[in-house]
Structure 1
Amino acid sequence: MSDEDGLDLGDLMSILAEDLQVVIARTLADRSPEPARLFGARVAATDRRVAAEARLPEDRHETLGATVGCLILTEWLAGARVHDDLDLAGVLGSVHADLGPDCADLARDATALLDGPAPPPDEDLLVALIWLAAAVVRHYGNDDVAWLCGSPVDSC
Protein backbone atom coordinates (compact mmCIF):
# COMPACT_ATOMS: atom_id res chain seq x y z
CA MET A 1 0.00 0.00 0.00
CA SER A 2 1.62 3.26 -1.08
CA ASP A 3 0.55 6.67 -2.21
CA GLU A 4 1.81 9.04 -4.85
CA ASP A 5 4.37 10.53 -2.41
CA GLY A 6 6.08 7.17 -2.05
CA LEU A 7 4.93 6.61 1.54
CA ASP A 8 3.68 3.17 2.47
CA LEU A 9 2.28 1.47 5.56
CA GLY A 10 5.78 0.63 6.81
CA ASP A 11 6.72 4.31 6.65
CA LEU A 12 3.58 5.25 8.58
CA MET A 13 4.35 2.63 11.22
CA SER A 14 7.92 3.90 11.62
CA ILE A 15 6.83 7.53 11.88
CA LEU A 16 4.12 6.74 14.41
CA ALA A 17 6.42 4.49 16.47
CA GLU A 18 8.97 7.28 16.77
CA ASP A 19 6.28 9.85 17.58
CA LEU A 20 4.73 7.51 20.16
CA GLN A 21 8.03 7.09 21.98
CA VAL A 22 8.45 10.86 22.12
CA VAL A 23 4.93 11.42 23.45
CA ILE A 24 5.35 8.65 26.05
CA ALA A 25 8.62 10.28 27.18
CA ARG A 26 6.88 13.68 27.44
CA THR A 27 4.02 12.13 29.39
CA LEU A 28 6.52 10.65 31.83
CA ALA A 29 8.63 13.79 32.12
CA ASP A 30 5.68 16.15 32.54
CA ARG A 31 3.53 13.73 34.58
CA SER A 32 0.71 15.13 32.53
CA PRO A 33 -2.03 13.67 30.33
CA GLU A 34 -1.72 16.59 27.89
CA PRO A 35 1.06 15.30 25.60
CA ALA A 36 -1.05 12.21 24.82
CA ARG A 37 -4.21 14.27 24.36
CA LEU A 38 -2.46 16.64 21.94
CA PHE A 39 -0.98 13.71 20.02
CA GLY A 40 -4.35 11.93 19.82
CA ALA A 41 -6.02 15.11 18.56
CA ARG A 42 -3.30 15.57 15.93
CA VAL A 43 -3.66 11.97 14.69
CA ALA A 44 -7.46 12.29 14.59
CA ALA A 45 -7.24 15.57 12.67
CA THR A 46 -4.86 13.97 10.18
CA ASP A 47 -7.19 11.00 9.75
CA ARG A 48 -10.14 13.36 9.10
CA ARG A 49 -8.10 15.39 6.60
CA VAL A 50 -7.05 12.25 4.72
CA ALA A 51 -10.66 11.06 4.62
CA ALA A 52 -11.81 14.47 3.34
CA GLU A 53 -9.10 14.55 0.66
CA ALA A 54 -10.15 11.07 -0.42
CA ARG A 55 -13.74 12.39 -0.55
CA LEU A 56 -15.03 9.60 1.63
CA PRO A 57 -18.63 9.91 2.80
CA GLU A 58 -19.15 11.03 6.41
CA ASP A 59 -20.16 7.50 7.43
CA ARG A 60 -16.87 6.07 6.09
CA HIS A 61 -14.50 8.09 8.25
CA GLU A 62 -11.15 6.36 8.06
CA THR A 63 -8.92 6.07 11.14
CA LEU A 64 -5.72 4.66 9.71
CA GLY A 65 -3.41 6.75 11.92
CA ALA A 66 -5.34 5.94 15.11
CA THR A 67 -5.59 2.28 14.11
CA VAL A 68 -1.88 1.91 13.41
CA GLY A 69 -0.96 3.83 16.58
CA CYS A 70 -3.19 1.54 18.66
CA LEU A 71 -1.70 -1.55 17.02
CA ILE A 72 1.85 -0.40 17.75
CA LEU A 73 1.06 0.36 21.39
CA THR A 74 -0.84 -2.91 21.83
CA GLU A 75 2.12 -4.83 20.43
CA TRP A 76 4.54 -3.09 22.79
CA LEU A 77 2.27 -3.61 25.79
CA ALA A 78 1.73 -7.28 24.93
CA GLY A 79 5.49 -7.71 24.70
CA ALA A 80 5.99 -6.07 28.08
CA ARG A 81 3.28 -8.26 29.56
CA VAL A 82 4.87 -11.47 28.31
CA HIS A 83 8.36 -10.62 29.52
CA ASP A 84 7.57 -9.09 32.88
CA ASP A 85 4.33 -10.73 34.06
CA LEU A 86 2.67 -7.35 33.99
CA ASP A 87 0.79 -6.34 37.14
CA LEU A 88 -2.02 -4.30 35.63
CA ALA A 89 -3.27 -3.13 39.02
CA GLY A 90 0.14 -1.62 39.79
CA VAL A 91 0.36 -0.07 36.34
CA LEU A 92 -3.10 1.45 36.66
CA GLY A 93 -2.07 2.72 40.10
CA SER A 94 0.80 4.54 38.38
CA VAL A 95 -1.60 6.11 35.88
CA HIS A 96 -3.80 7.21 38.77
CA ALA A 97 -0.86 8.65 40.73
CA ASP A 98 0.77 10.45 37.78
CA LEU A 99 -2.22 11.50 35.68
CA GLY A 100 -5.32 11.32 37.87
CA PRO A 101 -8.42 9.16 38.30
CA ASP A 102 -10.11 10.05 34.99
CA CYS A 103 -7.02 8.99 33.03
CA ALA A 104 -6.80 5.80 35.11
CA ASP A 105 -10.42 4.95 34.26
CA LEU A 106 -9.75 5.35 30.52
CA ALA A 107 -6.52 3.35 30.79
CA ARG A 108 -8.40 0.59 32.63
CA ASP A 109 -10.83 0.42 29.72
CA ALA A 110 -7.91 0.20 27.29
CA THR A 111 -6.49 -2.88 29.07
CA ALA A 112 -9.27 -4.86 27.40
CA LEU A 113 -7.07 -4.86 24.29
CA LEU A 114 -4.57 -7.04 26.09
CA ASP A 115 -7.07 -9.81 26.82
CA GLY A 116 -9.78 -9.84 24.23
CA PRO A 117 -11.32 -8.43 21.12
CA ALA A 118 -10.36 -4.85 20.48
CA PRO A 119 -12.84 -2.02 20.49
CA PRO A 120 -12.76 0.15 17.38
CA PRO A 121 -9.65 2.33 17.48
CA ASP A 122 -10.27 6.03 17.97
CA GLU A 123 -8.63 9.07 19.49
CA ASP A 124 -9.70 8.22 23.06
CA LEU A 125 -8.37 4.68 22.85
CA LEU A 126 -5.08 5.89 21.39
CA VAL A 127 -4.68 8.41 24.22
CA ALA A 128 -5.57 5.84 26.89
CA LEU A 129 -3.04 3.38 25.46
CA ILE A 130 -0.35 6.07 25.57
CA TRP A 131 -1.11 6.68 29.25
CA LEU A 132 -1.05 2.94 29.90
CA ALA A 133 2.27 2.59 28.05
CA ALA A 134 3.77 5.49 30.03
CA ALA A 135 2.71 3.83 33.28
CA VAL A 136 4.21 0.49 32.19
CA VAL A 137 7.48 2.27 31.40
CA ARG A 138 7.40 4.05 34.77
CA HIS A 139 6.47 0.89 36.67
CA TYR A 140 8.79 -1.60 34.90
CA GLY A 141 11.14 0.25 32.56
CA ASN A 142 12.73 2.74 34.97
CA ASP A 143 11.34 5.64 32.87
CA ASP A 144 13.36 4.41 29.85
CA VAL A 145 10.89 4.58 26.97
CA ALA A 146 13.18 2.53 24.71
CA TRP A 147 12.65 -0.39 27.10
CA LEU A 148 9.04 -0.66 25.96
CA CYS A 149 9.81 -1.53 22.35
CA GLY A 150 13.31 -2.84 22.90
CA SER A 151 15.19 -0.26 20.87
CA PRO A 152 16.38 3.34 21.11
CA VAL A 153 13.91 6.14 20.48
CA ASP A 154 15.47 7.06 17.14
CA SER A 155 15.28 3.52 15.74
CA CYS A 156 12.03 2.17 17.12
Structure 2
Amino acid sequence: MEEVIEYIKNGNLLKQSVPHLLKSVEIVDTLDKAKRFAWEEVYGDEELLWTDIRELEMAEVDAVSYEKENFEEEMDNLDKLLDTFTKILKVRLKGPYQELLDDIVADLHNCAINRALNGKQNNFFEHLFEIYKAGGWPCGWYGNYPEGSVIAYIPAK
Protein backbone atom coordinates (compact mmCIF):
# COMPACT_ATOMS: atom_id res chain seq x y z
CA MET A 1 0.00 0.00 0.00
CA GLU A 2 2.88 2.36 0.73
CA GLU A 3 4.04 1.99 -2.87
CA VAL A 4 0.69 3.31 -4.09
CA ILE A 5 0.89 6.32 -1.76
CA GLU A 6 4.48 7.02 -2.87
CA TYR A 7 3.42 6.79 -6.51
CA ILE A 8 0.64 9.32 -5.93
CA LYS A 9 3.14 11.72 -4.41
CA ASN A 10 6.07 11.26 -6.79
CA GLY A 11 5.38 8.70 -9.53
CA ASN A 12 5.38 9.06 -13.32
CA LEU A 13 1.83 10.35 -13.51
CA LEU A 14 0.90 10.39 -17.20
CA LYS A 15 4.54 10.56 -18.23
CA GLN A 16 5.67 7.68 -20.40
CA SER A 17 8.33 5.60 -18.71
CA VAL A 18 8.36 1.91 -19.67
CA PRO A 19 5.22 1.02 -21.64
CA HIS A 20 7.12 -1.69 -23.53
CA LEU A 21 7.16 -3.69 -20.30
CA LEU A 22 3.38 -3.81 -20.12
CA LYS A 23 1.84 -7.15 -20.99
CA SER A 24 -1.70 -7.74 -22.19
CA VAL A 25 -2.45 -4.05 -22.73
CA GLU A 26 -3.92 -2.41 -25.81
CA ILE A 27 -2.36 1.05 -26.08
CA VAL A 28 -3.98 4.21 -27.41
CA ASP A 29 -1.94 7.34 -27.94
CA THR A 30 -4.50 10.15 -28.07
CA LEU A 31 -6.29 11.51 -25.05
CA ASP A 32 -9.54 12.07 -26.96
CA LYS A 33 -9.66 8.41 -27.97
CA ALA A 34 -8.84 7.35 -24.39
CA LYS A 35 -11.66 9.48 -22.95
CA ARG A 36 -14.08 7.96 -25.44
CA PHE A 37 -13.03 4.45 -24.35
CA ALA A 38 -13.31 5.42 -20.68
CA TRP A 39 -16.61 7.26 -20.70
CA GLU A 40 -18.61 6.32 -23.80
CA GLU A 41 -17.74 2.88 -25.19
CA VAL A 42 -19.57 -0.25 -24.08
CA TYR A 43 -17.81 -3.57 -23.83
CA GLY A 44 -18.90 -7.15 -24.35
CA ASP A 45 -22.23 -8.85 -24.66
CA GLU A 46 -23.42 -7.24 -21.44
CA GLU A 47 -22.59 -3.77 -22.79
CA LEU A 48 -20.56 -2.72 -19.78
CA LEU A 49 -18.97 0.68 -19.44
CA TRP A 50 -15.36 0.87 -18.24
CA THR A 51 -16.70 2.12 -14.90
CA ASP A 52 -18.90 -0.99 -14.63
CA ILE A 53 -15.91 -3.27 -15.21
CA ARG A 54 -13.88 -1.51 -12.52
CA GLU A 55 -16.82 -1.75 -10.11
CA LEU A 56 -17.27 -5.48 -10.80
CA GLU A 57 -13.58 -6.06 -10.11
CA MET A 58 -13.75 -3.96 -6.94
CA ALA A 59 -16.74 -5.98 -5.72
CA GLU A 60 -14.47 -9.05 -5.70
CA VAL A 61 -11.91 -7.15 -3.62
CA ASP A 62 -14.60 -5.91 -1.23
CA ALA A 63 -15.83 -9.49 -0.74
CA VAL A 64 -12.42 -10.34 0.76
CA SER A 65 -12.85 -7.56 3.36
CA TYR A 66 -15.83 -9.38 4.88
CA GLU A 67 -13.62 -12.37 5.58
CA LYS A 68 -10.95 -10.35 7.41
CA GLU A 69 -11.30 -9.77 11.12
CA ASN A 70 -11.22 -6.17 12.35
CA PHE A 71 -10.78 -4.79 8.86
CA GLU A 72 -13.35 -2.03 9.47
CA GLU A 73 -10.77 0.19 11.22
CA GLU A 74 -8.23 -0.25 8.45
CA MET A 75 -10.98 0.46 5.91
CA ASP A 76 -11.82 3.71 7.73
CA ASN A 77 -8.18 4.74 7.44
CA LEU A 78 -8.17 3.86 3.74
CA ASP A 79 -11.34 5.90 3.21
CA LYS A 80 -9.62 8.90 4.80
CA LEU A 81 -6.84 8.55 2.22
CA LEU A 82 -9.34 9.36 -0.51
CA ASP A 83 -9.30 13.09 0.36
CA THR A 84 -5.51 13.06 0.58
CA PHE A 85 -5.20 11.38 -2.81
CA THR A 86 -7.58 13.92 -4.33
CA LYS A 87 -5.67 16.91 -2.93
CA ILE A 88 -2.29 15.63 -4.12
CA LEU A 89 -3.47 14.55 -7.57
CA LYS A 90 -5.41 17.78 -8.12
CA VAL A 91 -2.07 19.61 -7.90
CA ARG A 92 -0.14 17.07 -9.97
CA LEU A 93 -2.58 16.77 -12.88
CA LYS A 94 -2.02 19.55 -15.38
CA GLY A 95 -3.94 20.91 -18.36
CA PRO A 96 -6.19 18.44 -20.15
CA TYR A 97 -5.41 15.73 -17.59
CA GLN A 98 -7.34 17.54 -14.85
CA GLU A 99 -10.62 16.10 -16.11
CA LEU A 100 -9.25 12.59 -15.40
CA LEU A 101 -8.93 13.36 -11.68
CA ASP A 102 -11.94 11.40 -10.43
CA ASP A 103 -11.07 8.28 -12.43
CA ILE A 104 -7.42 8.33 -11.39
CA VAL A 105 -8.21 8.94 -7.72
CA ALA A 106 -10.74 6.08 -7.74
CA ASP A 107 -8.34 3.69 -9.47
CA LEU A 108 -5.41 4.41 -7.19
CA HIS A 109 -7.59 4.31 -4.08
CA ASN A 110 -8.88 0.91 -5.20
CA CYS A 111 -5.29 -0.20 -5.81
CA ALA A 112 -4.44 0.76 -2.21
CA ILE A 113 -7.47 -1.09 -0.84
CA ASN A 114 -6.59 -4.13 -2.94
CA ARG A 115 -3.04 -4.10 -1.59
CA ALA A 116 -4.29 -3.79 1.99
CA LEU A 117 -6.57 -6.80 1.54
CA ASN A 118 -4.69 -9.02 -0.89
CA GLY A 119 -1.09 -7.91 -0.74
CA LYS A 120 0.85 -7.67 -3.97
CA GLN A 121 -0.94 -10.35 -6.01
CA ASN A 122 -1.30 -10.64 -9.75
CA ASN A 123 -4.85 -9.37 -10.17
CA PHE A 124 -6.86 -6.66 -11.94
CA PHE A 125 -5.88 -3.77 -9.67
CA GLU A 126 -2.20 -4.72 -9.62
CA HIS A 127 -2.38 -4.70 -13.42
CA LEU A 128 -3.92 -1.21 -13.36
CA PHE A 129 -1.19 -0.05 -10.98
CA GLU A 130 1.50 -1.37 -13.34
CA ILE A 131 -0.08 0.69 -16.13
CA TYR A 132 -0.01 3.80 -13.95
CA LYS A 133 3.63 3.18 -13.02
CA ALA A 134 4.43 2.94 -16.75
CA GLY A 135 3.04 6.46 -17.12
CA GLY A 136 -0.34 5.42 -18.49
CA TRP A 137 -4.03 5.72 -17.74
CA PRO A 138 -6.17 2.55 -17.86
CA CYS A 139 -9.21 3.65 -19.84
CA GLY A 140 -11.13 0.73 -21.31
CA TRP A 141 -11.45 -2.91 -22.20
CA TYR A 142 -10.50 -4.77 -25.36
CA GLY A 143 -12.62 -7.86 -25.88
CA ASN A 144 -15.65 -9.43 -24.29
CA TYR A 145 -15.17 -8.93 -20.55
CA PRO A 146 -13.87 -10.82 -18.64
CA GLU A 147 -11.96 -12.18 -21.62
CA GLY A 148 -9.62 -9.68 -23.21
CA SER A 149 -7.34 -6.99 -21.89
CA VAL A 150 -7.15 -3.45 -20.58
CA ILE A 151 -6.89 -0.48 -22.93
CA ALA A 152 -4.49 2.19 -21.69
CA TYR A 153 -3.61 5.68 -22.78
CA ILE A 154 0.15 6.17 -22.87
CA PRO A 155 1.16 9.75 -23.66
CA ALA A 156 3.77 10.26 -26.35
CA LYS A 157 7.13 11.30 -24.97
TM-score range, shorter chain: 0.3 to 0.5
TM-score normalised by length of structure 2 = 0.39
TM-score normalised by length of structure 1 = 0.39
Structure with the higher fraction of residues in helix conformation: 1
Structure with the higher fraction of residues in strand conformation: 2
Higher relative contact order (CA 8 A, sep 6+): 2
